[in-house]
Amino acid sequence: MECRICRNNDLKEFLSLGKTPLANSFLPKESLSLKEESFPLAVCFCQDCKLVQLTYVVPAEAMFKNYVYVSSTSGTFRAHFARMAEDISKDFNLDEKSLAVDVGSNDGILLKGFKRFNVRTIGVEPAANVAKIAEENGVETINGFFGKDAAKEIVARKGHADVVTAANVFAHVNDIDDFAENVKFLLKKDGILVIEVQYLVDTIEKMTFDNIYHEHLSYFTLTSLANFFKRHEMEIFDAQRVDSHGGSLRVFAKKNNGSHKAGKNVGMILKHEQEIGVEDLKLYREFAGNVYSVRENLKSCLEGIKNKGMSIAGYGAPAKSTTLLNFCGIGRNFLDYIVDENPLKIGLYTPGTRIPVVGPDALDKKKPDYVLILAWNFAEEILAKTKKYSGKGVKFIIPLPELRTI
Ligand SMILES: [Zn+2]
């Protein structure tokens, strides 16, 4: 195993979350009798370029061919992406002559925002079922992985891009060198790349280790991203910390000869990272110790409830719940069912732990004593939606960033 960015082969493993199935491999009932495939889930640190990455890479085809995650089912995401498209359109004066390309465009959630500003758009989405939803929503989409072929097809169909966006995608890409070269080919001379990635500093500070799963190959800091883009004659000229996914980094990169002026954010964030020690293995070892403590605390909380003979349901079955449930050993022994609003997930069973995913009406039919909010980054949204149950004595457990019961 060598470093994804700099090819260093002396990587330091600091955290193991065990062997788990793919986070999105929810099972239909007829597969319950079959053995599930699982893969090692462990994280290591490159002391040369400072990239944190998984020790084991599952082939992409196994992970993304039938993805059940549809961005637009979350109101919080809809608002986030509408705002992101608006900010980029205004800040970079995009208009009807401009082209925005979204890589990993999902159901078109971000591109719809650009269309509102009359910007021409095209998406690239590998999951056939999700790409089809985008097309049905009127968002032109190439169904496939973003590579040289897709980049060429876009230039042939639409010309070169003013902006390429990749929100919650860059961490999924194994060959990021190829990705960067294709983006450079696709962009106009003064075009920009905007990526949004889960921010490792937030993962550490807010203990959001459930963001670690096989689809996320890399865990970025601005330090490691800056090292990466430098190798591709690109430069990060702006960066912002944003709220999504429990804390993300939005990074603006340009070709070295592009005209955009660097703002002061980049220097400030890099300085902060240096102060907290992102270049030092010690930070990651401490984080791992905290992760193991979270598992102990959550398990003893749930065991306490079960010992009193009370019932627990889960709320939300996002990909990251697979990490939390498998790592902590939370299965049918603790949770009777998990409520989710995504119609593509209802009727399926959670990977590894095999808890049934059901529609929200289950809370009426079989009222639990406690609800463990697995989509904890939407805790406020979920608590607001389920107010009537807390009125009836149902208590809600929010596992992260700090275990609390409401
Ligand atoms: Zn490296």
Q: Is residue 210 one of the residues assigned to a domain?
A: yes
Q: How far is the CA of 46 from the centre of ligand 1 (A)?
A: 5
Q: How far is the CA of 222 from the centre of ligand 1 (A)?
A: 14
Domain boundary among 261, 279, 297: 279
- Residues 252-286: tens digit of each pLDDT: 999 999 999 888 999 999 999 999 999 999 999 99
pLDDT the model gives residue 401: 85
Q: Is residue 101 one of the residues assigned to a domain?
A: yes
Q: Is residue 33 one of the residues assigned to a domain?
A: no
Tell me the average pLDDT across 114-136.
94
Rg (CA), the chain: 21
Is it the case that residue 200 has pLDDT exceeding 90? yes
Query: How far is Cα 52 from Cα 136, in angstroms, rounded to an integer?
Result: 38
Tell me the average pLDDT across 162-189.
95
3-class secondary-structure state, position 359? coil
Q: How far is the CA of 227 from the centre of ligand 1 (A)?
A: 9
Q: Determine how β-strand 370-373 pairs with β-strand 312-315.
A: parallel
Identify the domain containing residue 388 by its residue range: 308-405
Q: How far is the CA of 229 from the centre of ligand 1 (A)?
A: 13
Examine the domain organization and report whether 270 and 333 are in the same domain. Answer: no
Tell me the average pLDDT across 165-173.
93
Q: Is residue 58 one of the residues assigned to a domain?
A: no
Tally of CB atoms within 10 A around 350: 29
pLDDT the model gives residue 67: 54
Q: How far is the CA of 52 from the centre of ligand 1 (A)?
A: 8
Percentage of the chain beyond pLDDT 70 is 97
120-125: strand order across its sheet: 141-143, 120-125, 99-103, 161-167, 187-198, 248-255, 234-242
Place of tokens 């809370």: 363
Examine the domain organization and report whether 259 and 374 are in the same domain. Answer: no
Examine the domain organization and report whether 136 and 202 are in the same domain. Answer: yes
Query: How far is Cα 253 from Cα 239, in angstroms, rounded to an integer?
Result: 9
pLDDT the model gives residue 242: 92
Examine the domain organization and report whether 130 and 229 are in the same domain. Answer: yes
Percentage of the chain beyond pLDDT 90 is 86
Examine the domain organization and report whether 145 and 275 are in the same domain. Answer: yes
pLDDT the model gives residue 60: 75
| Cβ–Cβ < 8 Å for 86, 150 | no
Least confident of 126-130, 242-246, 371-375, 394-398: 242-246
Q: How far is the CA of 6 from the centre of ligand 1 (A)?
A: 4
Band the pLDDT of 402: cuts 50, 70, 90. Answer: confident
Q: Is residue 346 one of the residues assigned to a domain?
A: yes
Band the pLDDT of 69: cuts 50, 70, 90. Answer: low
Q: Is residue 51 one of the residues assigned to a domain?
A: no
User: pTM, whole model, 2 decimals?
Assistant: 0.89
Per-chain residues with Cβ under 5 A from ion ligand 1 = 3, 5-6, 8, 46, 48-49, 51
Band the pLDDT of 390: cuts 50, 70, 90. Answer: confident
Is it the case that residue 72 has pLDDT exceeding 70? no
Band the pLDDT of 66: cuts 50, 70, 90. Answer: low
Q: How far is the CA of 166 from the centre of ligand 1 (A)?
A: 22
Q: How far is the CA of 235 from the centre of ligand 1 (A)?
A: 18
Examine the domain organization and report whether 266 and 320 are in the same domain. Answer: no
| CA-based max dimension of the chain | 66
Examine the domain organization and report whether 176 and 223 are in the same domain. Answer: yes
pLDDT greater at residue 232 or residue 343? 232
Average pLDDT, rounded, for the chain:
94
Q: Is residue 163 one of the residues assigned to a domain?
A: yes
Q: How far is the CA of 2 from the centre of ligand 1 (A)?
A: 8
Tally of CB atoms within 10 A around 352: 23
Q: How far is the CA of 325 from the centre of ligand 1 (A)?
A: 31
Examine the domain organization and report whether 259 and 321 are in the same domain. Answer: no
Band the pLDDT of 73: cuts 50, 70, 90. Answer: low
What are the backbone dihedrals phi and psi of residue 27, each rounded to the nearest 5 degrees, phi first?
-105, 135
Examine the domain organization and report whether 68 and 176 are in the same domain. Answer: yes
Tell me the average pLDDT across 293-320.
96
* CATH of residue 136: 3.40.50.150
Q: How far is the CA of 49 from the centre of ligand 1 (A)?
A: 4
Tally of CB atoms within 10 A around 306: 13
Examine the domain organization and report whether 259 and 354 are in the same domain. Answer: no
Band the pLDDT of 71: cuts 50, 70, 90. Answer: low
Band the pLDDT of 101: cuts 50, 70, 90. Answer: very high
Is it the case that residue 140 has pLDDT exceeding 90? yes
pLDDT the model gives residue 377: 84
Is it the case that residue 65 has pLDDT exceeding 60? no
Query: How far is Cα 317 from Cα 140, in angstroms, rounded to an integer?
Result: 29
pLDDT the model gives residue 359: 96
pLDDT the model gives residue 371: 98
Is it the case that residue 70 has pLDDT exceeding 60? no
Tell me the average pLDDT across 125-139.
91
Query: How far is Cα 292 from Cα 297, in angstroms, rounded to an integer?
Result: 9
Q: Is residue 79 one of the residues assigned to a domain?
A: yes
Examine the domain organization and report whether 113 and 174 are in the same domain. Answer: yes
Q: How far is the CA of 36 from the centre of ligand 1 (A)?
A: 33
Tally of CB atoms within 10 A around 385: 14
Total number of domains in the chain: 2
Examine the domain organization and report whether 265 and 312 are in the same domain. Answer: no
Q: How far is the CA of 221 from the centre of ligand 1 (A)?
A: 13
pLDDT the model gives residue 64: 62
Is it the case that residue 308 has pLDDT exceeding 70? yes
Is it the case that residue 76 has pLDDT exceeding 80? no
Q: How far is the CA of 191 from the centre of ligand 1 (A)?
A: 27
Tell me the average pLDDT across 172-192.
96
